[in-house]
Amino acid sequence: MQECDSPRITPGFSPADDFAALSPLGLALARDRRLEWVNEAFATMFGYSREQLTGQSFRLLFATETEFERIGRRLFASLQQSGSYRDERLMQRRDGLMQWFRVHGHTRDREAPLSEVAWVFEPLQSGVEPEGLTPREREVLAGMVGGQTAKENARSLGLSPRTVEKLRARLRQRYGVHRATALMGRTLGIP
């Protein structure tokens, strides 16, 4: 095998630009929860062009204002405390369908955690009809996908464990399954 004298890059672009353009993961840079820059994969995952997303609030990708604010409070606290945030959540695509994503974020400044955040979005399996789930049901499912027990999920949502158990039972009944793993598989589109 022959060794290269210089890296192969697209003329006019840096290796970082090439990496971002070629990444199969959705990459975004946000300032104060506004999308400053996204790669093509990120835009495609949500059904938009890069130009349509640049300058937009992340709110565009959430089903409700309440959900946007609630997740915002959680990510603010995590970014401030550790500099990083991660979760799995349903987000709204342009076509109205909800899509599961594994989300990772890292802030430049823990003193002002939302001032500049780099985000990585990994799409999980199939979409879910948005009218099928309430914001609370989406949060309970996200907790389940994240491996939280009902008690842990209740604590993170500020609910009683009994309320979370009732929501889980209602979801299992709606999807015609008896176990939590089957419920997650059904909502993620896994047979």
Residue-wise pLDDT tens digits, 89-118: 888 899 888 788 889 999 999 999 999 999
Q: Which residues form the domain of 189? A: 133-191
> Is the same domain home to 66 and 108?
yes
Residue ranges of alpha helices (H) inside 57-149 are: 65-82, 135-145
- In the chain, the number of structural domains is 2
C-alpha span between 1 and 21 (Å, rounded): 27
In a domain, 110, yes or no: yes
> Is the same domain home to 138 and 90?
no
Q: Could you tell me the two tokens for 184?
A: 């997650």
Q: How does pLDDT run across 38-95, given as a tens digit for each residue?
A: 999 999 999 999 999 999 999 999 988 888 998 999 999 999 999 999 988 888 899 8
Is 57 in a helix, a strand, or coil?
strand
> Is the same domain home to 81 and 38?
yes
- Supply angle C-alpha 104, 112, 105, rounded to 5: 5
Q: How does pLDDT run across 2-24, given as a tens digit for each residue?
A: 444 445 555 666 888 888 888 99
